[in-house]
Chains A and B, each alone.
Chain A
Amino acid sequence: MLEMRKDLFADERDDNLNVIGKGLQRQDMPGHVTGLTRYFDDHAFEGLLHLKVVRSPHASARIRSIDVAAAARAPGVRRVLRAADVPVNRNTLLSLIGFGKDDEPSLAVDKVHYKGEPVVAIIADSEAQALAAKKLVRIDYEPMPAVFDVEEALKPGAPVVNETYSANYFEYHERFDHQKLRFGDVERALASADMVLEHRYQMSPIEHAPTETNGSIAAPEQNGRFVVHSCAQGLFFALGTAAKIVALESNRLHFIGGTVGGGFGGKVDSLTEPLAVLGAMVTGKPVRFVLDREEEMLYGSPRGAERIYIKDGLMRDGRLIARHIRSYFDAGAYTRLSSYAAIKCTAHLPGPYWIPNVASDVHVAYTNRCPSTAMRGFGITAVDFALEVQMDRLAEAAQMDPMEFRLLNAYRDGDMKPHRRKASNTALIECVQVAAEKANWPISEQGKRQSSLTGGGVGERGQIPATVLDARGQIGRPETRNSGPTQTLPAGSSRIAPSKQPVMEGARDGRAAPAQVPRYEAARPAAAPLSPPPYQPAPSPYQPVTGQQPPPYQPPPAPPATAAPVQTQHGAVRFSSVFGRRR
């Protein structure tokens, strides 16, 4: 339930918010249909100059020499910029919030790390003259080994992609090699599971392909200020980034924008603003730097490709008891926003399901590819795809209807999440109910009566379980950064090959114990007392199933009769468009 913090926002607004449910015309629509909307490029300037960059043809190379003499003499050329001309030629986007080390130059210094990296900028009277002068720049490269695969990049001895992070992974807080989540004991739970299912999911990089390409125009104003018309999705973010790189006080930059010809995440990187401003500073003229379509498609940063391994422990009655996720973000050559994507991804795991044992390791790996960045739910959508495909495969393995399987395993309000927070405002059950209703997908009467409001947080569902500690007393094992494509399963369990149909392994007695007895962080309730309870190895909550048939679907305790209005057939009252009501 949305709560208005009246104590904090007493003067902000009154509560007669009354637009929901009404059709309102957007304020920018008249401009769009009359052609009057002004995008960054729709501004006339007298004496406008055009900036184009020379890009690296190599994925990884040392720059032996750069000769710009012929280009500088070419017709119409006003100025040629090189790395040394950029006042602060090393930046990382999130440095504005103090996150991560500066790792990316505006113009490459003595190495290039991806194909398409800008090396030299040319400013000329016309676009055609700038393009012609580009061809006259002579750069002598010495190609170097490159790495394009995230797991290869993390192996010892792999070519160093980005000297700032010489082991090819992003370092969180200058100490941690990845984002880690541990909840319970995944290895032990996998050993006690009836089935273990592991699959690998590989995503592609995706270009946003906005109809308007990235670009900006910077022009000198009076009083030593510069006006910048920008395509940026985050205008002040671009302002701060440009101010840092050209070493100007930010109040000398006047950014105008917010009217974006399609962004989808691809216009947060400040790809053009810093060099456009620098161009205006060194020429005293308005300078326009716009990517052409080819540059946009090849070198406008894409959604990062992710590789995701999911290994699940499943009981024959359909309960998921363990989930281990290992994932690699392909950041490309520089960090940009991938470090944030991995945090979002980890916060999202293990999906909207209550699973008593969860471990995840999300790595950000550098490769010699175009740096990747934000795109619509980055960090979330790819892993969601993987998780939901996995859920369908698990349902099949448990011989359950995929909708019922999700109802059985869904988060409910009050459940403890692996992040040590209680789930609230959960709604998967209701979503499934509404989706089933709309798709005429039959679900059981019991399934229809489920509610996210009941059954959550009961017993172990509300507890932080005993969690494995590593040798240093931190939540740890298993270590995974350099593990092979698959891991060794605990003794007594066997892997289901991804290409094969899962098979029932049946109840197994007398499983061998793991070779090393792990240490545990003790189980505790959410609000932990200051002195934790004495060490108690958590008893395994899972009893092997002995019968031949899976037991019938046993939902958590039915809600009290008053919880659901009697007139609704489904439990889906909160978000159902059918009933038009929410809690």
Chain B
Amino acid sequence: MAKIPVQFRLNGSDRAAFVDAPETLLNTLRRGLGDFAPKYGCGQGACGVCTVLIDGEPHLSCLTLSVACEGKRIETASGMADGPDLHPLQAQFMEHFAAQCGFCTPGMLTVARALLDRNPNPTRDEVIEAISGNICRCTGYEPIVAAILAAAGSPGMRRSEGGRHA
């Protein structure tokens, strides 16, 4: 099968890959480009562990074709920290014990980041709404909600590169 070239910006760097037409962005990121932050949990849009930002909007990479990402800005949890400095969401996830096995954490961080980019002071209900597509089997969600609310109030909240209001 002939491979198709695709180029996009991944966490601030220009990247290119040759993909098969039916290949998912999740597969290209993980197996093609070695960014293992987005995870496979279901491959059918049910769990949210594969969530990435495409032009600042959260998308399920398991249901996104790589060829559709030509020229887009893609961000994953791997690109959240600024060098050694953690994003406030990352710091607050640590502080609030918002991860146990950690498998859902990259997806949770990603949807939370999109939320705070759009709405720097969300209510608790808005936080719950934002993470409602992401399954966590370990934490019971409360620490995650607390971490996101704490990050919203913390100084130093930065916008993601592709954020709408950036």
Contacts and interface: CB of A to CB of B under 8 A. Distances in A.
Interface in B19-55: 22, 30-31, 34-37, 39-44, 46-47, 49
A421 interface: no
Contacts of B77: 33-35
Given A44-B31, A211-B39, A262-B138, A30 B94 contact: yes
B106 A35 contact: yes
A18 to B, nearest CB: 21
A263 B100 CA distance: 11
A25 interface: yes
Interface stretch (B66-74, B78-86, B123-131, B156-164): B78-86
A511 interface: no
Interface in A258-288: 260-264
A: interface residue count bin: 20 to 34
B13 to A, nearest CB: 15
B101 A211 contact: yes
B103 A39 contact: yes
A261 B103 contact: yes
B145 interface: no
A33 B39 contact: no
Contacts of B47: 211, 293
Contacts of A290: 40
A582 to B, nearest CB: 24
Contacts of B102: 28-29, 31-33, 37, 261
Contact of B94 (A33, A213, A292, A293): A33
Contacts of A262: 100-101, 103, 137-138
Contacts of A30: 94
A573 B124 CA distance: 38
A510 B109 CA distance: 73
B135 A211 contact: yes
A38 interface: yes
B101 A260 contact: yes
B8 interface: no
Contact of B93 (A33, A48, A261, A292): A33
Given A35-B77, A35-B106, A29 B101 contact: no
Given A25-B94, A32-B105, A33-B90, A209 B137 contact: yes
A38 B94 CA distance: 17
Contacts of B76: 35
Interface string A5-43: 000000000000000000001101111111111110110
B104 interface: yes
Contacts of A44: 31, 34
B86 A34 contact: yes
B115 interface: no
A292 B43 contact: yes
Contact of A33 (B31, B99, B137): B99
Nearest to A35: B37
A210 interface: yes
A41 to B, nearest CB: 7
Nearest to A297: B42
A46 to B, nearest CB: 11
Contacts of B44: 293
Given A44-B31, A262-B137, A211 B104 contact: yes
B136 interface: yes
Q: Give me the 10 closest cross-chain CB pairs, A-B, nearest first.
A: A35-B37, A32-B102, A261-B103, A42-B36, A35-B77, A293-B42, A33-B90, A32-B99, A35-B78, A211-B103
28 contacts: A29-B99, A32-B102, A33-B86, A33-B99, A34-B78, A35-B37, A35-B77, A35-B80, A35-B105, A36-B37, A36-B78, A38-B36, A39-B39, A41-B40, A42-B36, A208-B137, A210-B101, A210-B103, A210-B137, A211-B101, A211-B137, A212-B103, A213-B40, A261-B102, A262-B101, A264-B137, A293-B42, A293-B46
